[in-house]
């Protein structure tokens, strides 16, 4: 006991550094690129921040969808592909079947939820390994999308209301960002402030113990996959809103960026735990850094190096920083 007390100031310092570390880094990135003569004018402009803020909203929603299964200790690699598929399905509903926007949104969310339910059945009910299942599902989805689109984007017949929502601003802030605030608030509330969320954390911490204190582990895990799929479906619709169409390559391409953001996010806000707020900080940290580097004239491949590198750094960090403390990230 005395030992723990003696370590307190040290531990508190460490926890504070960890909790705000990524946020401080994010501010530092903004400061550096805003003051560098080469990037300053372009980077620190309202236009650039608007582009980054609006542009990253779909990725944020998809990354949050990634976060949910990770809270119960499951990695769903198919989330980004589900978003891509939902984007195609929702856009096709408008473009090829002349359906109104509301129906298109419902279609996208339903496609996402159905794919999530399929994952959930195989993983939660049958108890199969999440990585193998979602890798297979991801590949199957890629095949279905290719079959349906021939690899060509759907760009016609998209509702103007949707594209306006994706590209215009209210009070100088991208409209789509308001939706992000809503989604983040809602998911954060469910995970952190409801008994259901606490059950998710308990399942992620120790499945057997969760079952033995009376938590319905199978149905809860199943529900998480369905929720994550539905959220990815909504994220897919946001992709269409941003780009004005549905590109079959766009969804799957977000896999690594989302993973990097989620793992980076797990080192901050609630260090050692996958958490929604951390995920959002992670997305914007990566986006701002890549934007700054691009403006500084660094070639585009750097963004891949950066996402991959960030994922590695995040995993290493959570291994060392989170060790021996409440809430260690495990995959």
Contacts with other proteins by CB under 8 A lie at 1-7, 192-195, 197-199, 201-202, 204-206, 208-216, 272-273, 324-328, 330
Cα-to-chain-centroid distance, residue 322: 21
- 302 to each of 155, 197, 296, 314, how far by Cα in Å? 29, 37, 12, 18
Smallest separation (angstroms) from other proteins to the CB of 227:
18
Which C-beta is closer to other proteins: that of 71 or that of 158?
71
Cβ proximity to other proteins, 79 vs 191, nearer residue = 191
Q: How far is the CB of 101 from other proteins (least distance, A)?
A: 31
Spatial separation of the C-alpha atoms in residues 243 and 241, rounded to whole Å: 6
- Cβ neighbours around 328 below 10 Å, total: 16
Question: E-strand spans in 134-284?
Answer: 169-170, 173-174
Q: How, if at all, do strands 173-174 and 169-170 pair?
A: antiparallel
Please compute Rg for the chain using Cα positions. Answer: 20
Q: How far is the CB of 211 from other proteins (least distance, A)?
A: 6
Of 154 and 266, the one with the shorter C-beta distance to other proteins is: 266
Secondary structure (3-state) at 173:
strand
Cα–Cα distances (Å) from 106 to 42, 95, 97, 272, 308, in that order, read 39, 15, 14, 35, 34
Cβ 210 to other proteins, closest distance in Å? 8
What is the number of residues in the chain?
Answer: 331
Closer CB to other proteins, 213 or 312, in the complex:
213
Please, what is the minimum distance in Å from the beta carbon of residue 278 to other proteins? 15
Helical axes 217-243 vs 46-71, angle rounded to 10°: 160
Q: What is the DSSP string of 249-299?
A: TTTGGGHHHHHHHHHHHTTSSSTTS--HHHHHHHHHHHHHHHHHHHHTT--
Name the maximum alpha-carbon separation found in the chain: 71
| Residue 170 DSSP SS3 | strand
Residue 272 CB, shortest distance to other proteins, in Å, is: 7
Nearer to other proteins, 6 or 132 (CB): 6
Shortest distance (Å) from residue 326 CB to other proteins: 5
Q: Compute the least distance from the CB of residue 310 to other proteins, in Å.
A: 23
Residue 6 or 312 with smaller CB distance to other proteins = 6
CA distances from 97 to 49, 91, 110, 201 (A): 36, 9, 16, 42
Least separation in angstroms between residue 190's CB and other proteins is: 11
Buried b or exposed e, range 184-216, using 16+ CB within 10 angstroms: beebbeebbeeeebebbbbbbbebeebeeeebe
The two tokens of residue 240 are 């269409």
**Beta carbon nearer to other proteins, 3 or 143:** 3
Of 319 and 325, nearer to other proteins (C-beta) is 325
- Judged by beta carbon, residue 172 or residue 195, the one nearer other proteins is 195
């Amino acid at each position: 006991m005395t030992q723990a007390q003696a370590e307190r100031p040290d531990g508190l310092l460490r926890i504070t550094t960890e909790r705000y570390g990524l946020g401080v880094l994010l501010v530092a990135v903004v400061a550096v690129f805003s003051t560098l003569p080469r990037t300053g004018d372009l980077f620190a402009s309202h236009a650039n921040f608007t582009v980054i803020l609006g542009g990253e909203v779909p990725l944020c929603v998809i990354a949050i969808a990634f976060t949910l299964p990770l809270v119960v200790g499951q990695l769903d690699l198919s989330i980004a592909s589900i978003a891509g598929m939902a984007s195609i399905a929702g856009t096709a509903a408008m473009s090829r079947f002349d359906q109104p926007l509301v129906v298109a949104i419902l279609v996208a969310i339903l496609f996402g939820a159905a794919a999530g339910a399929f994952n959930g059945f195989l993983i939660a009910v049958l108890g199969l390994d999440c990585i193998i299942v979602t890798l297979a599902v991801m590949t199957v989805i890629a095949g279905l999308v290719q079959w349906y689109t021939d690899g060509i984007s759907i760009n016609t017949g998209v509702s103007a209301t949707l594209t306006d929502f994706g590209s215009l601003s209210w009070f100088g802030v991208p409209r789509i960002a308001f939706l992000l605030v809503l989604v983040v608030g809602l998911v954060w509330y469910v995970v952190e402030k409801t008994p259901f969320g606490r059950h998710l954390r308990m399942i992620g911490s120790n499945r057997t113990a969760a079952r033995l204190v009376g938590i319905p582990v199978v149905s809860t895990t199943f529900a998480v996959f369905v929720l994550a799929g539905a959220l990815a479906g909504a994220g897919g619709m946001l992709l269409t809103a941003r780009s004005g169409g549905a590109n079959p390559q766009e969804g799957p391409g977000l896999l690594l960026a989302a993973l990097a953001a989620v793992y980076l996010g797990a080192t901050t806000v609630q260090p050692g735990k996958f958490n929604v707020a951390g995920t959002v900080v992670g997305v914007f940290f990566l986006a701002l850094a890549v934007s700054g580097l691009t403006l500084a004239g660094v070639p585009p491949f750097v963004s891949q190096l950066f996402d991959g590198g960030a994922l590695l750094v995040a995993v290493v960090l959570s291994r060392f920083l989170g060790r021996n403390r409440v809430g260690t990230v495990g995959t």
